């Protein structure tokens, strides 16, 4: 079974503070993704990565940075957190099988920015 873990699971931050969300996968997948989930919007892609050292912008990258220092780890960084970034964040990993990409999701991080 695929294993994607996230830390922290819950985080309360102050406006203007720096927040780092971490994701680790033990599947040896090349691709990793960060999404946020908000009611009415479903899952929106923030950043993704094709492998160590690479990061790509998703649909809503503004206010977020990403870092992929290794195959296993993918971080999402909020340099100056704002209340609008209060959300549940999911990390996922995946790889192409038969030309399609199946994704395995972590448990999520609930972030509240006050």
Partner 1 sequence: GEKVEQHESTLSVREGDSAVINCTYTDTASSYFPWYKQEAGKSLHFVIDIRSNVDRKQSQRLIVLLDKKAKRFSLHITATQPEDSAIYFCAAVMSNYNVLYFGSGTKLTVEP
Dihedral-angle region of residue 52 (phi above 0 means left; psi in -120 to 50 means alpha; beta otherwise)? beta
- Note whether 106 binds partner 1 by CB under 8 A: yes
3-class SS of residue 111? strand
Q: Count Cα neighbours of 61 within 13 Å in the Cβ-side half-sphere.
A: 12
Please list every residue from 46 through 85 that binds partner 1, using CB under 8 A.
48, 50, 58-59
Tell which residue, 7, 27, 6, has the closest CA to residue 93: 27
β-pair type (65-67, 73-78):
antiparallel
Among 55, 87, 93, 103, binds partner 1 (CB under 8 A): 103
Give yes or no for residue 96 binding partner 1 (CB under 8 A).
yes
Which of 8, 17, 69, 107 touches partner 1 (CB under 8 A)?
A: 107
By CB under 8 A, residue 99 contacts partner 1:
yes
Among 18, 84, 102, 114, binds partner 1 (CB under 8 A): 102
Binding residue (CB under 8 A) for partner 1 from 15, 41, 82, 112 = 41
């Amino acid at each position: 079974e695929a294993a994607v873990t996230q830390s922290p699971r819950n985080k309360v931050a102050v406006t203007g503070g720096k927040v780092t969300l971490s994701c680790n996968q033990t599947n040896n997948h090349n691709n990793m993704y960060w999404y946020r989930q908000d009611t009415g919007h479903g899952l929106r892609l923030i950043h993704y990565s094709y492998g160590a050292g690479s990061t790509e912008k998703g649909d809503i990258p503004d206010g977020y940075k990403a870092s992929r220092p290794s195959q296993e780890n993918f971080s999402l960084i909020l340099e100056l957190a704002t209340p609008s970034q209060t959300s549940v964040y999911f990390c996922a990993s995946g790889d192409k099988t038969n030309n399609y990409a199946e994704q395995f999701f972590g448990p999520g991080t609930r972030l509240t920015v006050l």
